Amino acid sequence: MADDLLQVRDLSTGYHGREIIHKLVLPDIRAGEVHSLVGPNGAGKSTLMRALAGLQRATGSVKLGGRELIGLSLAEHARHITYMPQTLPQGVALTVLESVIGALRASPTGEDAGLGEKAIERRSLEVLQRVGITHLALNGLDQLSGGQRQLVSLAQSLVREPRVLLLDEPISALDLQHQLRVMQLVHELARERGMIALVVLHDLQAAARWSDGIVMFSKGAVVATGKPAEAITPHTLARVYGVRARTEHCSHGMLQIMVDGVLRPDEVPAA
Amino acid sequence: MANAIEVNDTAAEAASILAAYRRMVARRAAIVLGLAVLCVGAFLLDLVTGPSALTPRQVLSGLFAPDSLTPPQAAIVWQVRLPYALMAVLVGAALSLAGAEMQTILNNPLASPFTLGVSSAASFGAALAIVLGFSLPFIPADWMVPLNAFVCAFGSVLLLQMMTRRRGAGVETVVLLGIALVFAFNALVAFVQFISSQEALQQLVFWSMGSLSRATWANVGMLAVVVAVVVPFSLHAAGQLTSLRLGEDRARSFGVNVQRLRFMALLRVSLLAATSVAFVGTIGFIGLVGPHVARLLLGEDHRFLLPASILAGALIMSLSSVASKTLVPGVLMPVGIVTAIVGVPMFLFLIFRRSERS
């Protein structure tokens, strides 16, 4: 059903007149699914995310539930899609709860444009509970560890209850436990709320574990898509990352990726 | 069973945190109210302080019943004390609000009308008017200096404005451009000083010191109108300004049109700063220190930060005005000198505190 699909067709975008992504087509993403965008540094992953979020000019078509999003104002975009950048800025004198309330107050969200003060407070606190950081509510943002900051950042995005959540490397700087907590939460919320999550990840193991689908991306173009085991193969790894690797399923059925070394330029397979 | 207890626990925890949050909000409102009370106090102190032999009681009763004073006394209260004191409050409020908005939209704690060239531009405008004796038809000669200062100050902010709208110019570029403006205008002022006559030079130096003695009811009224018009717009933008502190991309993703927010904020800043500087000359540090004091007191929720910045600026300026009358007995020092003397140690304190934190 087109009702709950994110459909990206012929999307082109770039900076200063230089096109980075040209006529990109992504597989349709259904509500409730988590998809990961993987690829080497400089592949254009963040550019794609920013274009999907409406933060930079793009042409083509991005439809959510059949409705065209390209050309909408930021405020209208923000009713449907929330983009979570890699980091929170330093040196901000706000408490955790204030920052989440601030995210909700920035502009009206979906159906609850006229949310009252008390409703805003209650909803913000519920999100903190859900993310498991209620105990940090009144701490200053500057007193938090990197992992805690990332959870707060996630709470700021979730409080707006977006239909599509775009996460740009949410776990790159986190320890193992926080990596798990963030990804598990994203996965659960996607299922519960019917939210679409598109996540940029460098950790292929995590991508394989938490995603319904993988988009492998290189030089502004899609190289492989599909279920984790279909997209992440020795061949695509060699082509996209230039590494010699093997994949197998462990006794729990999870995809494991083992990298044996870097390929010489002449060993990298062409398309 | 264990689950039920856990749910109760989290409900209780949520309730207690919500209560603590509301106490924090109430405390902030109380701090703003406290600042307002201190402002009124400082204003009254400013009003009753001065070289003439008027008692505080005479001054205050003269406000409500002008007939109780002799004509010379009434003139002192109504033509000197009151406009000066009102001007101090208004200029402090305007510069501090301008600084607070600048610091947020440029994401730079050192941004202020003074550090980003607005005051220097105003000095240059005034210098041109004083030294070259510009005049325009239908404009009284008295108004040429403030008018020219206003035009230059406004122009300098518009220049900054254009930079923020240029594609690819980050806020760092804008801050660097502001610093370049300071040097450029200072050099131009020095050049004008170099070619000016002895008499014009003296006038110019006095102008650039920043003094409340140029306060008249007419320019107090004009600045009051500007402040009254601008403040509601600033407060209206408070929510968006707060979200901008979470990062530009994030704020945009939350639906904030950051470019428009910057444009409107810089427009407010140019009106506030240019009008203030045009009437009283260069007043340093209020625009920098006022917002920092407010931030230290109650954080960066702009619903509180902006009013607190306004009040902190007004308070510091009123106290500086009192100090300018009392530091050297019998001498009215230009208030711009006093704010700098008070401001430099505060500025250094803030810088060291900042470097200690990071």
Chain B interface mutation, best of A81, A156, A164, highest count of B Cβ atoms under 10 Å: A156
**A248 is a domain residue:** no
The torsion of the CA quartet B325, B328, B332, B338, rounded to 10 degrees, works out to -70
Which position has the token pair 């000083």?
A: B193
B4 and B127 part of one domain: no
Cβ neighbours of A157 in B, within 8 Å: 253
Nearest CA in chain B to A154: B250
The answer to whether B242 contacts chain A (CB < 8 Å) is yes
Cβ neighbours of A97 in B, within 8 Å: 17, 21
Residue A122: what residue type? R
pLDDT at B2: 47
Q: What is the CATH number of the domain that holds B136?
A: 1.10.3470.10
Cβ neighbours of B245 in A, within 8 Å: 89, 92, 94, 102
Min Cα distance A125 → chain B (Å) is 7
B94 and B23 part of one domain: no
**Residues in Cβ contact with A147 at an 8 Å cutoff, skipping those fewer than 6 apart:** A174, A175, A177, A178
Taking an 8 Å cut-off on Cβ atoms, the answer to whether B255 and A107 are in contact is: yes
Q: What are the angstrom distances between the C-alpha of B185 and each of B106, B278, B335?
A: 21, 15, 22
Taking an 8 Å cut-off on Cβ atoms, the answer to whether A102 and B107 are in contact is: no
Min Cα distance A209 → chain B (Å) is 27
Taking an 8 Å cut-off on Cβ atoms, the answer to whether A106 and B256 are in contact is: yes
pLDDT at B296: 87
Task: Measure the N-to-C terminal CA separation of chain A; round to a whole number of Å.
Answer: 33
**B75 is a domain residue:** no
Name the residue facing A138 among B21, B167, B240 (closest C-beta).
Answer: B21
**B211 is a domain residue:** yes
pLDDT at B210: 83
Cβ neighbours of B295 in A, within 8 Å: 93
The torsion of the CA quartet B23, B28, B30, B32, rounded to 10 degrees, works out to -170
B96 and B227 part of one domain: yes
**Residues in Cβ contact with B116 at an 8 Å cutoff, skipping those fewer than 6 apart:** B102, B106, B160, B175, B178, B179, B181, B182
Number of independent structural domains in chain A: 1
**A267 is a domain residue:** no
Taking an 8 Å cut-off on Cβ atoms, the answer to whether A102 and B249 are in contact is: no
Taking an 8 Å cut-off on Cβ atoms, the answer to whether A99 and B251 are in contact is: no
CA distance B276 to B222: 10
pLDDT digits (tens, 9 = 90+) for B140-196: 777 788 888 888 988 888 888 787 777 666 778 888 888 999 999 999 999 988 888
**B89 is a domain residue:** yes
Asked casually if ipTM beats, i.e. exceeds, 0.95, the reply is no
Taking an 8 Å cut-off on Cβ atoms, the answer to whether B254 and A108 are in contact is: no
The answer to whether B257 contacts chain A (CB < 8 Å) is yes
Taking an 8 Å cut-off on Cβ atoms, the answer to whether A106 and B251 are in contact is: yes
B358 compared with B90, residue with greater pLDDT: B90
Min Cα distance A129 → chain B (Å) is 8
Mean per-residue pLDDT, B197-218? 85
Q: Number of CB pairs < 8 Å for A and B?
A: 123
In this structure, what DSSP letter does residue B50 have? S
Chain A interface mutation, best of B254, B262, B304, highest count of A Cβ atoms under 10 Å: B254
**B60 is a domain residue:** no
The answer to whether B112 contacts chain A (CB < 8 Å) is no
**A178 is a domain residue:** yes
**A19 is a domain residue:** yes
Q: Residue B10: which pLDDT band, with cuts at 50, 70 and 90?
A: confident
Taking an 8 Å cut-off on Cβ atoms, the answer to whether B14 and A129 are in contact is: yes
B350 and B225 part of one domain: yes
**B234 is a domain residue:** yes
pLDDT at A260: 93
Q: Residue B6: which pLDDT band, with cuts at 50, 70 and 90?
A: low
Nearest CA in chain B to A138: B21
**A173 is a domain residue:** yes
Mean per-residue pLDDT, B7-15? 76
Q: Residue B1: which pLDDT band, with cuts at 50, 70 and 90?
A: very low
Number of independent structural domains in chain B: 2
**A256 is a domain residue:** no
Residue span of the structural domain in which B125 resides: 84-357
Name the residue facing A121 among B18, B239, B249 (closest C-beta).
Answer: B18
pLDDT digits (tens, 9 = 90+) for B30-84: 999 999 999 999 999 999 998 887 888 888 888 888 888 888 888 888 999 999 9
Taking an 8 Å cut-off on Cβ atoms, the answer to whether A90 and B358 are in contact is: yes
Taking an 8 Å cut-off on Cβ atoms, the answer to whether A94 and B251 are in contact is: no
**B55 is a domain residue:** no
Other CB atoms within 10 A of residue A44 CB: 21
Cβ neighbours of B243 in A, within 8 Å: 102-103, 105-106
B28 and B88 part of one domain: no
Taking an 8 Å cut-off on Cβ atoms, the answer to whether B20 and A138 are in contact is: yes
Taking an 8 Å cut-off on Cβ atoms, the answer to whether B246 and A81 are in contact is: no
Q: Residue B355: which pLDDT band, with cuts at 50, 70 and 90?
A: low
B294 and B171 part of one domain: yes
B299 compared with B353, residue with greater pLDDT: B299
B216 and B106 part of one domain: yes
The secondary structure of chain B in percent helix, strand, coil, rounded to multiples of 5, reads 80, 0, 20
Nearest CA in chain B to A46: B249
Q: What is the CATH number of the domain that holds A222?
A: 3.40.50.300
SS3 sequence of chain A? CHHHEEEEEEEEEEECCEEEEEEECCCCEECCCEEEEECCCCCCHHHHHHHHCCCCCEEEEEEECCEECCCCCHHHHCCCEEEECCCCCCCCCCEHHHHHHHHHHCCCCCCCCCCCHHHHHHHHHHHHHHHCCHHHCCCEHHHCCHHHHHHHHHHHHHCCCCCEEEEECCCCCCCHHHHHHHHHHHHHHHHHHCCEEEEECCCHHHHHHHCCEEEEEECCEEEEEECHHHHCCHHHHHHHHCEEEEEEECCCCCEEEEEEEECCHHHCCCC
Taking an 8 Å cut-off on Cβ atoms, the answer to whether B21 and A97 are in contact is: yes
Residue A257, beta-bridge partner list: A247
Indicate the length of chain B as a whole number: 358
CA distance B324 to A95: 39
Name which of B346, B352, B245, B242 is nearest B286 in CA terms: B346
pLDDT at B84: 94
B97 and B203 part of one domain: yes
**A89 is a domain residue:** yes
* pLDDT by 10s per residue, chain A, length 271: 446 899 999 999 988 778 899 999 999 999 999 999 999 998 899 999 999 999 989 999 999 999 999 989 998 999 899 999 988 898 899 999 999 999 998 887 755 556 788 889 999 999 999 999 999 999 999 999 988 999 999 999 999 999 999 999 999 888 999 999 999 999 999 999 999 999 999 999 999 999 999 999 999 899 999 999 999 999 999 999 999 999 999 998 889 999 999 999 888 887 6
In this structure, what DSSP letter does residue B107 have? T
Planar angle of CA A186, A187, A193, nearest 5 degrees: 80
pLDDT digits (tens, 9 = 90+) for B285-324: 899 889 998 998 889 999 999 999 999 999 999 999 999 9
B92 and B19 part of one domain: no
Taking an 8 Å cut-off on Cβ atoms, the answer to whether B249 and A55 are in contact is: yes
Name the residue facing B239 among A50, A105, A135 (closest C-beta).
Answer: A105
Nearest CA in chain A to B14: A125
Residue span of the structural domain in which A111 resides: 2-236
B224 and B324 part of one domain: yes
CA distance B155 to B180: 15
Q: Judge whether A58 and A38 are in contact, CB under 8 Å.
A: no
What are the structure tokens assigned to A86, written together? 């890699």
Which sign does the torsion angle of CA B35, B38, B44, B49 carry?
Answer: negative
Cβ neighbours of B301 in A, within 8 Å: 94, 98, 102
Residue B171, beta-bridge partner list: none
**B340 is a domain residue:** yes
Angle of helix B198-209 relative to helix B171-195, nearest 10 degrees, comes to: 150
The answer to whether B349 contacts chain A (CB < 8 Å) is no
The answer to whether B299 contacts chain A (CB < 8 Å) is yes
B20 and B91 part of one domain: no
Taking an 8 Å cut-off on Cβ atoms, the answer to whether A142 and B357 are in contact is: yes
**A241 is a domain residue:** no
B149 and B246 part of one domain: yes
pLDDT digits (tens, 9 = 90+) for B77-120: 899 999 999 999 999 999 999 999 999 999 988 888 888 888 88
Taking an 8 Å cut-off on Cβ atoms, the answer to whether B242 and A94 are in contact is: yes
B345 compared with A169, residue with greater pLDDT: A169
